[in-house]
Amino acid sequence: MSDHTLVIGAGLSGLAAADKLQAAGKKVVVLESTERPGGRVVHLSHKGDMVEAGAQGFHSGSHGYAQTLGLIDRFGLTRDLVPQVNQQACYLNRQGEPVYPLGNMGLAKLLGVRGTADFAWFVAKYLVAMKKFSLYETHLDIPAYDNISTAEEFAWAGKAFTDYVLRPAAHAMVGTDLEHTNLYHFLNLMKLISTTKVATLRKGNSSLAEAIAASLDVRYETEVKKLLCEKGRVTGVQLADGSTLKADHVIVACPVGAAAKIMPDEFVAQREFLMAFPNIPMTLVYFFLDRPLDTKAFIYMGHAYRNMTFNMAINHTVKTPHLVPSGKGIISAWPSYPDAAALVNMSDAEVMTKALNEMDDFFPGIASMLDEVKVQRHHWGLGRLSPGQHAKILAFKKHAEQLQGVSFASNDYDGVHMESAVQSGLRAAERVLRG
């Protein structure tokens, strides 16, 4: 047996784990199936402009991304953090007209008397008096938050609060609707957006992954097919080309869907859990326009009545102007689960046509302004934290602690944030260091 650790996946969880091990003097090799680091932190480029096509931003503040910001600092990128200045949102109202609520007064006008009262009650009951739990780690069993869908919990809310606050928040932050996410996850995200500020990196968020990876031994285009196991202990990996690599410890740092495929036959319970983990595939469509757009909001939310797959858009020219030197319009169209699932089986051409039609309500005449359209598919996307999922994750983590020679890292076990990915990687590395 060799004396080093193998890390499967050069996303932020794997890179954070490998970085910590290397800093502690351990030998570590990262195996990455694609040709680049970053995984779900990825950008698209077009004629000198750039756009975030995966993770959108780093959160700072008292509940912010402490470990990720620490990594950003360690790799000399703190000065590259660009705060998001524009906070303007646009909502389509029930009549399909754009409304731009400004500050608390603007929101109160949009919500009306009942909606504003609902909002105040929501803040007092759920955000101020919320049970305490980490925003970045699944570590506590809180059945009252886990065993109920957000839709059930907020059955008391009126239509205005549901349509203009709850549904858009679920779409934007959780990638799904109120029926398909548990209260635990929803409150986590509401706490995060109400207590933190967002920033992006000057050269794209993936520049963090690139900087960490450059300091490590990362083998690209090296896909792991299976974990090797002897007498219940993981002893290495088998690669897609049939060769094998031995190791003292293997950190599985890929999305849950990919982790399920490489489980050894001995790990029956782990494979079953990983295969049954619900997810939200993300098929995003990016429209690069041939001219600047006369728009002022960074995010566009359709009304719940609209019943369309792409009910949210991001205006990247306004959100991250430092990445768009041309100043031309760049719009991305975002679906949410369960509608998002149907896009997986559609061709790029079909997805583009659908998204273009549905974006016209937000940006009239957009079809006549196109320079280029690109589709970014995240086949796994995000883990879906549906009712009961937190308890299942806790049980999996408990069993995983008993396994020898292997640890698991990925944001999927702990939420949808880059900080969850980084923290899970650091925990996996600490386990290796403990021996």
Ligand X SMILES: Cc1cc2nc3c(=O)[nH]c(=O)nc-3n(C[C@H](O)[C@H](O)[C@H](O)COP(=O)(O)OP(=O)(O)OC[C@H]3O[C@@H](n4cnc5c(N)ncnc54)[C@H](O)[C@@H]3O)c2cc1C
Which stretches of the chain bind ligand X, using CB under 6 A? 8-14, 31-34, 39-41, 54-57, 223-224, 253-255, 258, 262, 282, 378, 381-382, 410-411, 416-418, 420-421
Nearer to ligand X, 54 or 115 (CB): 54
Nearest distance in Å: CB 332, ligand X = 9
Nearest distance in Å: CB 224, ligand X = 4
Nearer to ligand X, 92 or 382 (CB): 382
User: What is the 8-class DSSP label of residue 123?
Assistant: I
Nearer to ligand X, 57 or 236 (CB): 57
Bridge partners of residue 81, in order along the sequence? 201
Per-residue b/e over 333-358, b at no fewer than 16 CB within 10 Å?
Answer: bbbbbeebeebeeeeeeebbebbbeb
Nearest distance in Å: CB 120, ligand X = 28
Nearest distance in Å: CB 13, ligand X = 3
Task: Give all strands of the β-sheet with 89-92 in edge-to-edge order.
Answer: 98-99, 89-92, 299-301, 310-315, 330-335, 279-289, 370-383
Q: How many CB atoms lie within 10 A of CB 48?
A: 8
Q: Please tell me the distance from the alpha carbon of residue 206 to that of residue 80, in angstroms, as a whole number.
A: 12
Nearer to ligand X, 31 or 426 (CB): 31
Nearer to ligand X, 107 or 239 (CB): 239
240 near 223, Cβ under 8 Å?
Answer: yes
Nearer to ligand X, 26 or 225 (CB): 225
Nearest distance in Å: CB 108, ligand X = 27
The C-alpha angle 166, 391, 407, rounded to 5 degrees, equals 115
Nearest distance in Å: CB 255, ligand X = 5
* First CA to last CA distance, the chain: 15
Q: In terms of DSSP bridges, do strands 224-230 and 233-239 run parallel, antiparallel, or are they unpaired? A: antiparallel
Nearer to ligand X, 57 or 204 (CB): 57
Tell me the torsion sign for CA atoms 205, 139, 15, 254: negative
Nearer to ligand X, 207 or 420 (CB): 420
Position with the least CB separation from ligand X: 11
Nearer to ligand X, 33 or 207 (CB): 33
Residue 336, token pair as written in the block: 């949410």
Of 424, 6, 15, the residue nearest 205 (C-alpha): 15
Per-residue b/e over 260-285, b at no fewer than 16 CB within 10 Å?
Answer: bebbbeebeebbebbeebebbbbbbb
Nearest distance in Å: CB 59, ligand X = 7
Nearest distance in Å: CB 155, ligand X = 29
Nearest distance in Å: CB 212, ligand X = 11
| Bond before 168 cis per omega within 30 degrees | no
Nearer to ligand X, 352 or 421 (CB): 421
Q: Which residue has the tokens 């782990």?
A: 270
359 near 331, Cβ under 8 Å?
Answer: yes
356 near 366, Cβ under 8 Å?
Answer: yes
Q: Please tell me the distance from the alpha carbon of residue 206 to that of residue 75, in angstroms, as a whole number.
A: 13
Nearest distance in Å: CB 115, ligand X = 27
